[in-house]
Chains A and B, each alone.
Chain A
């Protein structure tokens, strides 16, 4: 077998780029789920972020503003979900699915006159000196700002849940909203916050798709990325660093599959494509089987509506 055609440092560099949208979206979902909110509308928020960012970038020729607006777009959509599930106490699963439907439709509607346009390029940042290190330079230090930002968010969320008081409150709300409420925390407000944060990150992920990774606008261009993000959160058992690794594995499997095909190897595409989900189920079982390790399990109040106030 001849693997010399595969340039592994380029492969790793591009899997980092390929994984960034789902990484961002999954990070947002992670925070929301930690607070006990299961938002199945990730796909809808992502694609709405993709079109919001794209429109602004085209109109202002400023991709930075575009990224800002893609996260605002994601947040706007998330706020609908927040209002419906937190104020009107509607079921989260059903509302999330409705949000995906709504987001896909609205983005297609807004994007009608934006097909066939190319956005202003978003520059890569060649980090001085480091970028010139052979192999590692290509893999790690020649990416654009958003890639670094996504990794920064990983650290930030790690810190949030590890060391901060606020992170503890979010976790308390997610584990048992009734006792959190009894302790005097405003469950609704905290969940509002995490839902909006989730929306902002999902929107940013979508913006990365339409502004950097593909870069163009086409209807339905997320093509299921939001659902993968949902799987990823579970795969990572709600740990930010595992999420990072998981995102790169998910992205890596796809790219590796393409690389092996280009080498002319016979591989079973369907089996390989379903493997991340099977592994996710395996991880899930493994985590829940270790009963004493509470922190690795799903938040206890996940998906449940809080009716007190």
Chain B
């Protein structure tokens, strides 16, 4: 008898669906890598947890990590939608076409796609003006370098990364006219060993402040070892370099996620919107500034951040020439969004070429 009882318990767990959900809404997230990367995916996961906390038991969140930007993304999102997910955040650029495809099949599911440019009736996009943050840390870097050489580890030559380099350079140059940038492209977002090598190379070539537009915290660790400065990327990385860590550009997705989920619950959510927020909206956060930065520089940096937040300062304000010397922005002119989004040139003063 006992055996039959046990069997029936086992069978019931096997066949009785346990997908009944008490929450009002289910929100799914898909990540390109593991949330444990302490970078890009980690911050999206922070945003997801903020949604959990903000709505208590009313909203259930699910996520899937390591989803390649291929046919697999489409399948993962479809399965999520089938399982009763009401809203899906796809958090990498390469999910763009899969999102549009899946959204077509599930008109009642709301999609949010990070950093893309295609929208639909039930697809909105969101992206952060990271270049605003780079302007602030560019200023700090310009002030902190003794060798006047700033190293920059870059991933792929895409507008977003080029924009960041230009923004940082303009700010650093304004802070320190003698400053020089050395850029290394490593053609990967995430390869700790390669990132470390690139940072070491830059340091050996005289850079004493390292900036990065790649995802891991390896560069911070190297900077700490070699006794130079670096900035946290996407997350505060001070635990990897107590002395090296000057400040960080933190991706603040939480307010946006909470806001959009709230709108979805209220019925005020709209597709086809393109959010491009910066420091002002809290999507780009300047981390805690280290004591290593002199007080006056901290103040200046804060002033720049505040100015950008209030709209008084635009990181790309003329006069700015392109690298080849041809004029881009006239005196006082601010860059238009189209040029920024498609940026494929260095500004005047940066050495080297963008690889093609």
Interface residues of A (CB under 8 A from B): 5-7, 10-11, 14, 18, 21, 108, 111-112, 115-118, 121, 209, 213-216, 218-223, 225, 254-255, 258-259, 261-270
Contact = CB atoms under 8 A, between A and B. Distances in A.
A20 B168 CA distance: 35
B239 A118 contact: yes
Interface stretch (B92-100, B190-198, B254-262): B190-198
Interface string B199-211: 0111011110000
Contact of B192 (A221, A254, A270): A221
A116 B192 CA distance: 13
Contacts of A11: 201, 204
Among A111, A214, A267: residue with most chain B CB under 10 A: A214
A255 to B, nearest CB: 6
Interface in B74-124: none
A303 to B, nearest CB: 28
A223 B193 contact: yes
Contacts of B200: 14
Contacts of B351: 264
Given A255-B201, A258-B197, A262-B184, A216 B217 contact: yes
B246 interface: no
B34 A214 contact: no
Contacts of A263: 182, 205
B194 to A, nearest CB: 7
Contacts of A214: 192-193, 196, 218, 221
Contact of A258 (B36, B184, B188, B239): B184
Given A111-B36, A213-B193, 4 more contacts: A7-B204, A116-B38, A213-B196, A258-B201
A252 B151 CA distance: 20
A265 B216 CA distance: 26
B46 to A, nearest CB: 13
Contacts of A21: 193
A162 to B, nearest CB: 32
B36 A115 contact: yes
B90 to A, nearest CB: 20
Contacts of B345: none
A209 B192 CA distance: 9
B124 to A, nearest CB: 30
B55 interface: no
A215 B192 CA distance: 9
Contacts of A7: 204-205
Interface string B27-41: 000000110111000
30 contacts: A5-B205, A6-B204, A7-B205, A10-B204, A115-B36, A116-B217, A118-B221, A214-B218, A214-B221, A216-B192, A216-B221, A218-B36, A218-B37, A218-B192, A218-B216, A219-B37, A220-B33, A220-B190, A221-B193, A223-B190, A254-B194, A254-B197, A258-B184, A258-B186, A259-B204, A262-B184, A262-B201, A267-B355, A269-B355, A270-B187
B205 A112 contact: no
A131 B337 CA distance: 55
B205 A6 contact: yes
B269 interface: no
> Chain B interface mostly helix, strand, loop or mixed?
mixed
A259 B203 CA distance: 10
A217 B353 CA distance: 34
B169 to A, nearest CB: 13
A215 B221 contact: yes
A147 to B, nearest CB: 15
Interface of B: 33-34, 36-38, 151, 182-188, 190-194, 196-198, 200-202, 204-207, 216-218, 221, 225, 239-240, 351-353, 355
Contact of A225 (B151, B182, B193): B193
Contacts of A221: 192-193
A269 B36 contact: no
Contact of A262 (B192, B202, B355): B202
**CB-CB nearest 7 A-B residue pairs:** A264-B352, A264-B351, A258-B201, A115-B36, A223-B191, A262-B182, A219-B34
Contacts of B353: 264, 266
Contact of B34 (A6, A108, A118, A267): A108
Q: Which of B198, B202, B206 has the most CB of A within 10 A?
A: B198
B355 A266 contact: yes
A18 B204 contact: no
B185 to A, nearest CB: 6
A259 B205 contact: yes
Nearest to B187: A269
A255 B185 contact: no
Contact of B198 (A5, A116, A216, A258): A258
Contacts of B34: 108, 219-220
B246 to A, nearest CB: 18
Nearest to B184: A261
Given A6-B205, A262-B202, A265-B352, A118 B240 contact: yes
Contacts of A218: 36-38, 192, 216-218
B4 to A, nearest CB: 36
A267 B185 CA distance: 11
A215 B196 CA distance: 9
A259 B201 contact: yes
A1 B191 CA distance: 30
Contacts of B193: 18, 21, 209, 213-214, 221-223, 225
A115 B38 contact: yes
A6 B201 CA distance: 9
Nearest to B215: A218
A158 B113 CA distance: 56
Contacts of A117: 239
Nearest to B235: A116
Contacts of A215: 221
B196 A223 contact: no
Contacts of B37: 115, 218-219
A232 to B, nearest CB: 15
A10 B207 CA distance: 14
B120 to A, nearest CB: 33
